[in-house]
Amino acid sequence: MVSERDPGFGVYIHWPFCAAKCPYCDFNSHVRHQPVDQERFARAFETELATMSARTGPRQVTSIFLGGGTPSLMKPQTVATVLEAVARNWTVPDGIEITLEANPSSVEAERFRGYRAAGVNRVSLGVQALNDADLRFLGRLHNVAEALHAIGLAREIFPRLSFDLIYARPNQKPEAWASELEQAIGHAADHLSLYQLTIEEGTRFHALHQAHKFEIPDADHAAELYAITQEVTASRGLPAYEISNHARPGAESRHNLTYWRYGEYVGIGPGAHGRFVEGGRRVVTITEKMPETWANLVEARGHGVTGGEVLTRSEEADEFLLMGLRLAEGIDLVRYEALSGRPLSSPRISVLQEEGLVASIGNSRLRATASGMIVLDAVVADLAR
């Protein structure tokens, strides 16, 4: 079980293919107009998993996450092959969280039942909006009716369900977002991921935004939408446990908690990142982004890792701070000191407390306040100096 004292060991599998590239997306995703050779990629996943297992040594897996891209374009047999490979290489206890990301447009009941039979017990649906005009703007291939159908199927077939929405969309009014959020909560099982629309460099939205083809809410309007998000979800029993994630108590994403609590994980597949302890030091692995090139590398040498580093104590402490302050539970100050070799600056904490951006929890923990979450990058930068 993932806990703060034992944040766990996760396995992330990246399926890099999509039916279409969303205009806001800067993830490593690729569109192929010919069928993907799934058997080849499944074999490559198996090979890279074995290589990573040799590097990590024996571990007990606490969660598996199939992300992308669009993993719901995978055949159920491909998913089964990958999950069986994970179990061959590490200890996988019964009942651990196994999540698969899915798009409503690629959902079929038979395929969902195939994923469940393969071992998936949690699905994360990329719904993104509950009105058709905004779904078209976001470049999604589904409409609201298809999204609700997918949510219904997921609730019927999987023990656990989450879905994503994007807010701070162009011309989005606070009352419209509150209404959409209430509708979403009515369909949600136990978890929602609610992300503010950001314009990422290299995306189609970035070019359109630079050309003034559309505008997104300014900082004050976005902050108002964020505040509404917190108020509505908390009042309906899905409080924020992380800056963008909301769950009923006990339904938090165990895999993502491993990231935010600074646990270890391996990243498998094109463009995946990993962070795990090897030889007493935390290492970072980064794999080749281009799917076919990654597969060639794996077939030639057993892995597609093309980058990475060994982190210094200071770098580990900074990452721990950056990830942990995203959580409502905040960070353990003793663990920070153990990682960095020095405590956080008390005078700096005091200034941030006076500004209402951080708060102490007892004598041993520090968390960002609601105001601090809005400017979290600045808070982290100030504390890390």
- What is the pTM for the complete model shown? 0.96
Average pLDDT in the chain: 95
pLDDT in tens, 5-35: 789 999 999 999 999 999 999 999 999 999 9
pLDDT of residue 27: 92
pLDDT in tens, 314-330: 999 999 999 999 999 99
Asked whether the predicted pLDDT for residue 105 surpasses 90, the reply is no
CB 9 within 8 A of CB 264: yes
Asked whether the predicted pLDDT for residue 2 surpasses 80, the reply is no
CA angle 224, 227, 233 (to 5 degrees): 140
Asked whether the predicted pLDDT for residue 290 surpasses 70, the reply is yes
Asked whether the predicted pLDDT for residue 284 surpasses 60, the reply is yes
pLDDT in tens, 37-72: 999 999 999 999 999 999 999 999 999 999 999 999
Asked whether the predicted pLDDT for residue 251 surpasses 70, the reply is yes
Asked whether the predicted pLDDT for residue 3 surpasses 80, the reply is no
Ordered structural domains, the chain, with CATH: 9-259 (3.20.20.70), 314-384 (1.10.10)
**Rounded to the nearest 10 degrees, what angle do helices 333-340 and 313-324 cross at?**
160
Residue with token string 């314009």? 199
Q: What is the mean pLDDT of residues 282-304?
A: 98
**Helices vs. strands in the chain: H and E counts, helices first:** 15, 17
11 torsion bin: left (phi>0), alpha (psi -120 to 50), beta (else): beta
pLDDT of residue 1: 56
pLDDT in tens, 332-379: 999 999 999 999 999 999 999 999 999 999 889 999 999 999 999 999
Asked whether the predicted pLDDT for residue 189 surpasses 80, the reply is no
Q: What is the mean pLDDT of residues 187-211?
A: 93
The residues, any chain, with a CB within 8 Å of residue 156's CB and separated by 6 or more, are none
| Torsion sign (Cα): 129, 133, 134, 139 | positive
pLDDT of residue 384: 87
Q: Concatenated DSSP letters for 216-279?
A: ---HHHHHHHHHHHHHHHHHTT--EEETTEEE-TT-S-HHHHHHHTT-EEEEESTT-EEEEEET
